Structure 1
Amino acid sequence: MSSGNIINAYGVMQAGGGFEPYQVKVGALGATEVELEVLYCGICHSDLSMIEDEWGISRYPMVAGHEVIGRVVATGEHAKHFKPGTVVGLGWNSGYCETCHYCRQGDKNLCAEARFTTLTGGGFADKARADMDSLLEIPEGVDLVSAGPLLCGGITVFNPLVQFDIKPTAKVGVIGIGGLGHLALMFLNAWGCDVTAFTSSEHKRTEALSLGAHKTLNSRDPEEIKSAAMSFDFIISTVNVNLNWDLYIQALKPKGRLHFVGAIVDPIQFTLFPVLFGQRSLSASPVGSPATIETMLDFVAHHQIRPQVEIYPMSQIEDAFKHLKSGNSKYRIVLSRE
């Protein structure tokens, strides 16, 4: 059954346009669909990239928002296991093909037919709809107000820890202490790693230590980075700009890995020989599978991890995006409908 045929949202009508009140007409729920009453929705830099069509895949009108915390209000006939009132999360993907090799083996985040929440109707609205297999029940102990950013920013930095079997004895570097990086510091500290924060901002050094880093290095000081040569088992880059990657590759131990989760749109450059002779690796990854998101949520509940968020009423969505663009947010922004 459906709870109604109109969703009241904030939409963008064209690339780079402002937000406008926008009504989405919807039909009956599909058999595997669930309708949510949106409680909170995080704002991610990827929302801005989609709104401004930086990646060339956007469609308009667009209702963005893919860090959704909502309450189940209606279900399709095959989704009855989601009871009305259950609080669930909806992240980057709103559905999967369910038939490809990657879906069958559990890597649904790698499904070529995965549907993007920002393109199917996201959380900048009073309600949202998604396929049941893309929804995660929020476990007890997870703070609902700050939970939305976990569903994109959080899983983006948590997924590599699982995929590459990062050991609690590993020495790990985090490049960039922002929306993604601050979560990486908290996760890696709780994971048990020796954590170093690379930051270009002097005032963020103290903040990085309070978030879980054991030490810091200035990412704008080549000599400081060179002093850490052959120190790290794993370095994760959360920034969306190019750096001198050779410096970071040389900071890796033999068999170490430089991993990218920040969306750099320009080609990256590096020298092959340090990679080749040190048997080092470069890699990248998107968000994680639903199963990995579940694991992350349990990890968050166990370790009482909370993203640092700033709250705006959804009616002030334009102000919230201006704050995002300013680069001064600490560290994630969440829109509230309560």
Structure 2
Amino acid sequence: MYQAKAYSVSSATSAFAPTTISRREPTDTDVQIEILFCGICHSDLHQARNEWKEFMPTVYPCVPGHEIVGRVTKVGSSVAKFKVGDLAAVGCLVDTDRTCPECLAGLEQFCPNPTLTYNFPDKHTGGVTYGGYSDSVVVDERFVLRVPSNLDLAATAPLLCAGITTYSPMRHWGVTKGKKVGIVGLGGLGHMGVKFAHAFGAHTVVFTTSPNKKDDALRLGADEVVLSKDANDMAKHASSFDFILDAVSADHDLNAYIQLLRRDGTLTLVGAPEKPLPIAAFGLLFGRKSVSGSPIGGLPETQEMLDFCGDHNITSDVEVIPIQKVNEAYERLLKSDVKYRFSIDMASLKSE
């Protein structure tokens, strides 16, 4: 074991503060990574404040962070994919059972026995896993990803969650050139959805409640922007969408978007509203429409996504902050006061 610098919360109401945590020494199959940047995901906030205590109670101290980009500093004797000095990334998973049908199919995100990057039982230490708000991490080679060298590293970090969460459903439901795709909500997830839909060649339409987001949506790659509160504007697009990605986590009317789907169209949720949302059956029956959900992607697809981003120069729009401003960032995140993701520069941790 060795000691690593980190920022943690000690309770649901405490602020982040500097600390040291124990990391395992690399085994034969492990990669040790110096963390250069770590994105802040909204789920970090939920976990830090124990807002998911019903199904995923937080174990304190908690070190969040599952959007990790860094440089390899040590590799185990059996590691074949990485060498010291390589750029590397880690997302939401650091292990699975590796034997279930989902893992064997490269769909590790659906494994019934995963090990998440933080706040999950750690078989190596006997405690819980600690995430990327730290100066280093040790992860099995299988769960480490290659980072294209041409991408800005600070802006690459959010791809490990926000990126793959929006890329995966678009790939699964066949978003390609000639398709009409809607993106509901222009936030951390939605802005990545716009970039991917545009890169896939789809006619991309952003739905927003904020008129002042129109220019930014167009800058990100949208072909059209629809104000979802404008019934006439919505009606113009009835029965015309092949696919709609819903990235809103607040309470909202799904039926309004179901009406916009063409025959066999799909509305896929990647946001997670706190309360169940009602759906009118007739809206689905007439047109054989579907409502679905999608989490992150598996390891092969996440690597595919990173390579796609390298080929198309796609990254997240980020505001880079020092780790010392993480508490302020959380408060701003609650107010949606960021365009569009925070990325922590972990070099700032060296001064602690």
Structure 1 distance, partners of 2:332, 2:74, is 34
Q: What is the percentage of aligned positions where both structures have the same residue?
A: 36
TM-fit CA distance, 1:322:
2.3
Amino acid at match of 1:40: F
For 1:161, the equivalent position in structure 2 comes to: 170
Deviation at 1:115, TM superposition (A): 1.2
Q: Where do 1:313-328 residues align within 5 Å?
A: 313-328=322-337
Please tell me whether the aligned partners of residues 126 and 337 of structure 1 are also in contact (alpha carbons under 8 angstroms). yes
2:105 — aligned with what?
A: 105
User: Contact (CA 8 Å) 1:89, 1:137: kept in 2 or not?
Assistant: yes
Give the letter aligned to residue 9 of structure 2: V
AA matched with 2:28: A
Which residue of structure 2 lines up, in the alignment, with residue 24 of structure 1? 21
CA distance in 1, matches of 2:151, 2:85: 17
- Corresponding pairs, count: 335
Which residue of 196, 208, 219 maps to 2:217? 208
1:89-238 matches, within 5 Å, as: 89-119=89-119, 120-238=129-247
In structure 1, the residue matched to 2:49 is 52
Question: Post-superposition shift, 1:16?
Answer: 3.6
Q: Which runs of 5+ in 1 are unaligned?
A: none
> Is contact 2:266-2:291 (8 Å) kept?
yes
Quote how far apart the aligned CAs of 1:112 are.
Answer: 1.4
From 273, 278, 283, the equivalent of 2:287 is 278
Could you list the structure 1 runs, at least 4 aligned residues long, displaced by more than 3 angstroms after superposition: none
SS in 1 for 2:262: strand
Per-residue CA deviation, residues 197-232 of structure 1 (Å, 9 max, x unaligned), is 001111101110111110111122233222311010
Question: In the alignment, which residue of structure 2 is the partner of 1:253?
Answer: 262
**1:118 counterpart SS class:** coil
SS in 1 for 2:118: helix
| TM-score normalized with structure 2 length | 0.92
TM-score, normalised by the number of residues in structure 1: 0.95
Deviations 1:254-294 (A, max 9, x none): 11000000122211111001201210000001101111111
Cα shift at 1:241: 1.2
Structure-1 separation of matches of 2:245 and 2:205: 11
Deviation for aligned residue 1:27: 3.8
Other structure's SS at 1:83 match = coil
Paired letter, 1:116: L
Q: Distance in 2 between matches of 1:198 and 1:81?
A: 41
Question: Which one-letter code corresponds to 2:221 in the other structure?
Answer: G
What does residue 10 of structure 1 align with?
7
d(CA) in 1 for partners of 2:13, 2:300: 34
| Mapped pair 1:294 → 2:291 | no
- Give the whole-Å Cα distance in 2 for the aligned partners of 1:166 and 1:113: 30
Cα distance in 1 between the residues matched to 2:225 and 2:342: 25
For the residue of structure 2 that corresponds to 1:311, the secondary structure is strand
Please name the residue that 1:74 is paired with: 74
Is this contact kept in 2: 1:36–1:129, CA < 8 A? Answer: yes
Could you list the runs of 5+ residues in structure 2 that have no partner in the other structure? 120-128, 348-352
CA distance in 2, matches of 1:72, 1:240: 35
The match for 2:251 among 239, 242, 256 is 242
| CA RMSD across the alignment | 1.4
Q: Secondary structure at the match of 1:265?
A: coil
